[in-house]
Amino acid sequence: FQANNVPEEQVFVKIDKVIKQCKTYGFKLVIDYHYGKLDDANYLTETPKIVAVWLKLTKRYLQESPDNLFFELYNEPPHMDPKIWKDAAYNITNAIRKIDAKRTLIIGASNFNSIYELSRFIRLPDENIIYTFHFYEPFFFTHQGASWVGSQSATTGVPFPYSAENFPEINPKTKNTWGETNYYQYKLDGNEQSIKDKLLIIKKWAAKYYVPVICGEYGVYNEYTDIDSRCRYIKAVRRTLKAYHIPGMLWDYNTNFSIFKGEPSLNNLPECMKNAIGYNVKK
């Protein structure tokens, strides 16, 4: 909106409409601070800007039911000092709490909502926080061919689970990157048991601090992965999350992580994907 010079009030009106739609159709809504610029170098000046936005939202939606509207402080805090991110999260939380003590807040760890950073995170002194993480492990599979990741993702045609027979040759572009390490590690990481082991890290962390957790994102970049592998992966993650009693949100429905073949429609939802997401077809 800022890039297109859209007036702030128009943004709020748009959010108002989304909230109304969610009420109409019985959805719960999470508003999150997306595309932020926070980092180690600017957090002293950037955090107050983030606080200012949240205070406007908090005041505007103070009367909205906390059962139906949630605030996620910041989408995927970058690869920054965990202590600096925690300090920023603490200050944002305190600012919101001065106005709204009942709103459930959602907070993830640094390094893009990393499960590993969350496992080292000491919970904040607030009893109404849900902690979130994004799960794309093994990254070598879920982000194969993703240009924004760089050369480490250049090897494509990677199946899930690992199959020696169908495993592609390494792309030379990945040499001397994490992609090369992950290529040789994939025969150990590319299976459901590895997913269980990694998600168990978070389950144990949540139990340690007596806090609720959610998987705010999981999915597969779909341009270079075959549909059967995507289905098997999504089913494995969903099944594990369910076994660990961790709610999960798929990313996504209509862009390059889409679960559909074409536009979002039940007619474009492959049978294996219906099975993967637990969709029950009523005949």
Residue 2 lies in a domain: no
Per-residue pLDDT of 81-99, as tens digits, reads 999 999 999 999 999 999 9
Average pLDDT over residues 103-129: 98
3-state SS, residue 130: strand
Q: Is residue 58 part of a domain?
A: yes
* Confidence bin at 233 (pLDDT 50/70/90): very high
Residue 66: give the domain boundaries: 8-277
Q: Can you tell me whether residue 31 is helix, strand or coil?
A: strand
Q: Which residue has the tokens 């660990």?
A: 244
243 found inside a domain: yes
Inside any domain, residue 1: no
Short-list 16, 206, 195, 10, CA closest to 107: 206
Asked if the structure places residue 129 within a domain, the reply is yes
Q: For residue range 27-41, list pLDDT tens digits in order.
A: 999 999 998 999 999
Looking at the domain assignment, is residue 283 inside a domain? no
List CB contacts of 262: < 8 A, sequence separation 6 or more. 268
SS3 for 113? helix
pLDDT in tens, 35-88: 899 999 999 999 999 999 999 999 999 999 999 999 999 999 999 999 999 999
Residue 1 confidence (pLDDT): 65
DSSP bridge partners of 135 = 218
Say if residue 15's pLDDT is above 50: yes
What's residue 283's pLDDT? 47
pLDDT the model gives residue 5 = 79
| Cα distance between residue 199 and residue 132, in whole Å | 12
pLDDT value at residue 282: 56
Q: What is the pLDDT of residue 2?
A: 67
Q: What is the pLDDT of residue 6?
A: 80
Question: pTM for the whole thing?
Answer: 0.95
- Asked whether residue 66 is domain-assigned, the answer is yes
**CATH number of the structural domain spanning residue 125:** 3.20.20.80
In percent, how much of the chain has pLDDT > 90?
Answer: 94
Overall domain count for the chain: 1
pLDDT in tens, 256-266: 999 999 999 99
Q: Is residue 112 part of a domain?
A: yes
